[in-house]
Chains A and B, each alone.
Chain A
C-alpha cells in the first residue's frame, strides 16, 4: 500500500482508513478459500475459472483469496461480497459451476442451493432464504477468538489485518504500558498453553521475565506433530499476523529482543505465509528497531523441522534450533530459566500467541468470563474422523462432547453408532459413549484419563477397533521415539509387539497385565513428555474397552471388523445382483460369478484389501 513506516497511532489509523476499501470495495468482490485444504479440493482451479470468466465477460470485479473458514468438509468455499449487501458463502464449488455463479452476480441473483450461509457486513440487510452464518449448525455454537480472522481476511494482506484491528493492541502496549502490567493481564485472563499441557501462560511469562540474564528468547512452537490436529497450520496460513503480533507483545513483556518460530517442514504454505507476514511487518516498521517509537527492538527468525514428532517437546525443539544432538534434555532446568543457548526462553504454541492481542485489546475481564472456572477462553479443535461435518472449530471451554459431535459435527458418518472420541493425539486417550456429556476442559479431560493436547478430536464409530487404535498410536510413537532413554525406546516397542500379537489372534492370558505394567513403567520413568504419555493410548483403551481386548485374546475375534487376521470377507448372496464391479476392482481375481447372478469370494485368494467393499453400491460385501 504505502511505503511509510507506521510509528504512531495516527499512522495506524490512517492506514486502516485507506485500507477499508480493500475489505469493502465499491465493486463486487469474490474471495476463494485458499488454505491447504481448499487447494487440495481444487480451489486453485476454481479461482482460475473465476478469473477467466470475469475476464471473458469484461466484468470489473475484485478477486481475492482467504484462509480456512473451518468448514473443511464443504471446501472449496467461495464468498461473494457485493457493495452494501451481506456476504454470501458458497460451498463445494467447482470450475463447472463458475459460469452460472458469475452470471448470477452480474444479474444480482443468488443460487440458494449452493449457498452455505450469509454473513452480515456493516449492518447490511438480511437476504431471504439463506441461513445466517450464526444459524448454521456447524458455526452456531462456536466462538471465534484465535480464529477471528481466518476465512474473513486475505492472509497475504497486512492491511486487511489492520482494518480488523490488527496491531492496535501492540500500539497500546508500546505506548507506555509496563511489562509487568501486561503479564498481569495475561495472568488474570486465565489463558493457558494451548499446545497441550495447559500451563498458565502469564505465569510462564513471569518466570521467564524474572529469570537471571539480560538475553532472553521467545519461541513459537509451530511443530504441531499430533496427527489429526491442524489448527496451527490453519492459523499460520489464514492469519499469520495474529500470531506475530502476539509474539511481539509477549517479547516486550518478557524482555526478549529475538524470537524464533519453529515450523514443521510438512507445512510449506504456513512457512511461506508467515515469512511473508514477517517481511510485511518489517516493511512497516512493526518489527525491527524502535517499534512504535518505544525504543523496543525485536526481530523474528524462522527455523524448520525436518520430520521428528519429538521436536514438538520444548527441550527437543530447543536442541533442534541449536543444531546439536536432537533429543530432549532433563527438566529441571526448565526453559523459562535455562533454554535456548542456556538463556531464559519462553515457548508458547501458535494458538496461545494468537489469543494474546485480543486479550490485550478487550481485557482480561472479558476473556475470563468465557469458559469454565479453571479453563478460560476458547479452544480450537479439529473435528475429524467418522463424523459428518469435519473441520476446524473454536468453542468456549465447557462445551460438551455431545454438542461437538452431534450439533457441530452433525452426527456419525453413514448413521453408524458413536463409539469414542480420541483427544490429545498420541499423548491422549479415548473417551467412550458413556462420557459423551463431559464438558470439555483441561481438568475434566485429564480426570477421565485423556488430555486436551493440541486439540485434535478424532471421532470413532462401531467399526473402529480400539485394539487397532492402541496399536496404531504405539506404532507411531515407536517410529518417533528419539531412542535416548531406556523406557521409551524399549518399552514402547514391547507394547507395540504385544498389541500386534493380540490383533493377530495370538494374544495370551497375562498380556493385558503385562501391557499395563509396561505402560506404567514407561509413563513414570521416561525422560520427556513423549515417553511419559506413551502409555496413555494403552491405558485409556484398556480402561474403557477392556472387553474388546479380551474378545481378541480369548475368542480370537475382532468385533469391529478391522484386524485383518481375524476377519474375512464374503458376499451376501441375497443382496448381490451380479453387477460385477467388485470383480474388476479385485486385485487378485478372488471374486467369481456369472453376470447378473450373485457372486462368490474365494477366501484363499482374498488379501482383504477392501477394494470390493469400497466399490459395492449394494452393500453386499460382509466383513466379519
Chain B
C-alpha cells in the first residue's frame, strides 16, 4: 500500500494505482475527456494534468496514467495547472465551439471565449470510439486516418462499413455526440445477413443464438428494452468490463430469456 497527499489530503491506495483513481477515493475531481473505465489510459486530452511537488522543479504529469509513489505530494489545482488547463480548454473551444461537453468545461473554468480562431469540428479526437471498437468490441470498423491537424476518425476510404455490427458502443462512449447511430443504416443488416438475421446482441457476443424477430427495429425490441433497463452501462461493457450488481443481474436475466 502507498500513502500520498493530494491537495493536502492524505490517501492510501494499492501500488500501481494511478493518481486519478487515488483522487477519486478522496472525492477530488480531476477533469478528463479521453478516459474511460475499462480501457487502458490513453493520454490524449491532457486535461487531467496535475503538479507533483519536487525539490528541484515540480513535475507536470497526466493523472490518468501516472502511478502513485510513497510520499508523493500532488496538486490538482495549482495556479500553474489551472493556467495550463485553461489554455487546453481554449484549444478545444476553438476547435469545437458548438460542442456541449467542451462548453461545459469552459463554463466551469469561467472561460467565455477562446483567443484562437474557431474551427467547426464536433469531434475532439479523444479516440474513445476507435479504442472501444478495436479493443472491446474487437471489430475495428472505424479507425484513425491521417495525422497531426488532419487527424480524423473514419471508415477506410469513407465507405460504408461492411464489418460494423451496429452495436452502438462508439456512439455510447462519444462525449460530444459526433458519432450517432443511424437507424437507417440498420437496413444493411436486414438486407445483408440473409436468413441468418442474428440479433446485434448476438453479434456482440452477449447472446449465443438469438435471432432477430423484429426486422432490426431495435427500438421496439423487448430484449433491447430489458437490457437498457437492467444495465447502467452499454451492454458491450457488461461482458468485457465491470461486474457490477446490475451486470450480474443482467446475466441471470439473459439466462432466463435464453431458455
Contacts and interface: CB of A to CB of B under 8 A. Distances in A.
Q: Do A and B come from one complex?
A: yes
Interface of A: 308, 325-326, 329-330, 332, 478-487, 489-491, 493-494, 497, 514, 517-518, 520-521, 524-527
B144 A491 contact: no
Given A479-B148, A485-B44, A491 B84 contact: no
10 contacts: A330-B62, A483-B146, A489-B149, A490-B94, A490-B95, A521-B87, A524-B49, A525-B60, A526-B46, A527-B44
A334 to B, nearest CB: 11
Interface residues of B, number: 37
Nearest to A494: B116
Contacts of A480: 148
B67 interface: yes
Nearest to A310: B147
Contact of A521 (B42, B84, B144, B146): B84
Interface string B87-124: 11001101100000000000000000001110000001
Contacts of A490: 91-92, 94-95, 149
A486 B147 contact: no
B125 interface: yes
Interface string B55-80: 00000101011110000000000001
**A494, A517, A524: which has the most chain B beta carbons within 10 Å?**
A524
Nearest to A526: B46
Given A484-B44, A485-B43, A478 B66 contact: no
A483 B62 contact: no
Given A330-B41, A524-B84, A486 B144 contact: no
A518 B90 CA distance: 11
A378 to B, nearest CB: 29
B235 interface: no
B257 interface: no
B193 interface: no
Q: Is the interface of A mostly helix, strand, loop or mixed?
A: helix
B91 A482 contact: no
B151 interface: yes
A525 B127 contact: no
A492 to B, nearest CB: 8
B204 interface: no
B45 interface: yes
B66 A486 contact: no
B49 A514 contact: no
B84 A486 contact: no
B150 interface: yes
A485 B46 contact: yes
A484 B91 contact: no
Contacts of B150: 483
A325 B131 CA distance: 10
A211 to B, nearest CB: 15
A480 B146 CA distance: 11
A591 B49 CA distance: 58
Contact of A525 (B65, B84, B124): B84
B116 to A, nearest CB: 6
Nearest to B146: A483
Contacts of B43: 329-330, 484-485, 527
A6 to B, nearest CB: 46
Nearest to A510: B115
Contacts of A518: 87
Given A489-B125, A518-B87, A524-B60, A481 B148 contact: yes
Nearest to A483: B151
Contacts of B146: 483
Contact of A478 (B83, B84, B124, B149): B149
Nearest to B41: A330
B84 A481 contact: no
A487 B149 contact: no
B88 A521 contact: yes
A482 B151 CA distance: 8
A491 B114 CA distance: 13
A308 B147 contact: yes
Nearest to A521: B87
B88 A525 contact: yes
A602 B62 CA distance: 57
Contacts of A325: 130, 144
B147 A483 contact: yes
A243 to B, nearest CB: 29
B66 A332 contact: yes
Contacts of B44: 484-486, 527
Residue from B67, B88, B150 having most chain A Cβ neighbours under 10 A: B88
Contacts of A479: 148
Q: Which 6 A-B residue pairs are closest in the complex by CB-CB distance?
A: A483-B151, A490-B91, A330-B65, A330-B43, A481-B148, A521-B87
Nearest to B59: A524
Given A517-B87, A521-B88, A525-B84, A489 B46 contact: no
A489 B64 CA distance: 20
Contacts of B65: 330, 332
Contact of A486 (B67, B92, B116): B92
Interface in B30-48: 41-47
Contacts of A514: 115
Residue among B64, B66, B151 with max Cβ neighbours from chain A (10 Å) = B151
A482 B60 CA distance: 21
B147 A482 contact: yes
Contacts of B95: 490
B45 A482 contact: no
Contacts of B117: 497
A187 B147 CA distance: 39
A520 B116 CA distance: 16
A260 B47 CA distance: 35
Interface in B141-184: 144, 146-151
B93 to A, nearest CB: 10
A85 B42 CA distance: 64
B128 to A, nearest CB: 13
B148 A483 contact: yes
Contacts of A484: 43-44, 125, 127, 151
Contacts of B60: 524-525
B148 A489 contact: yes
Contacts of A485: 43-46
Contacts of B84: 520-521, 524-525
Nearest to B60: A524
Given A330-B43, A486-B46, A524-B49, 18 more contacts: A330-B42, A332-B67, A479-B148, A482-B147, A484-B44, A484-B151, A485-B45, A486-B91, A490-B95, A490-B149, A491-B91, A493-B149, A497-B117, A521-B88, A524-B84, A525-B46, A525-B60, A525-B84
Contacts of A330: 41-43, 62, 64-66
A479 to B, nearest CB: 6
Nearest to B116: A494
A223 to B, nearest CB: 16
Contacts of A493: 149
Contacts of B92: 486, 490
Interface in B3-54: 41-47, 49
Contacts of B41: 330
